[in-house]
Structure 1
Amino acid sequence: MNIVIIGATSGIGKALFVKYANADNRIGIVGRRTNQLNVLSQQYPSKTIVSKADVTNLNEIEQAINTLLKEFG
């Protein structure tokens, strides 16, 4: 299954990432902290697609979702 998690770098988003990655899903993670996104993606590189965006900026979120949709195919 393809899953997108917005706010994946900490808290509930991070916990959901680990849960779904362990269940053999492809996961698009979105957050504003690039270094944290990269750390997460290194844990499950074949399952993770990273897209940086600040959730307070609608243009960034739209661009991030579009990027993930293209990657998921």
Structure 2
Amino acid sequence: YGSAKVGLNAYNITLQQKEQNLASEIAQKKNAVEDLQAEVHSMQDKGRVLSMLGEQVQDNSGNIYVIGDSGQ
């Protein structure tokens, strides 16, 4: 009985450590997801995207943006 109790306690400690590691990993992934969502929201702003493209973008009729070759 005593050795079974010690064995189960050791196994319980191992499971608790795994649980803590998984909880930490989940928290890190949640932070990464939140960061990516914030980046997506900032990229949705048309002005930001157009400013990143710089000279590669031509404004055609005020609402159509042509990206790429300016010779056509």
Query: Normalization by structure 1: what TM-score?
Result: 0.23
Q: Greater CA radius of gyration, 1 or 2?
A: 2
Looking at secondary structure, tell me which structure has more strand per residue.
Answer: 1
Looking at secondary structure, tell me which structure has more helix per residue.
Answer: 2
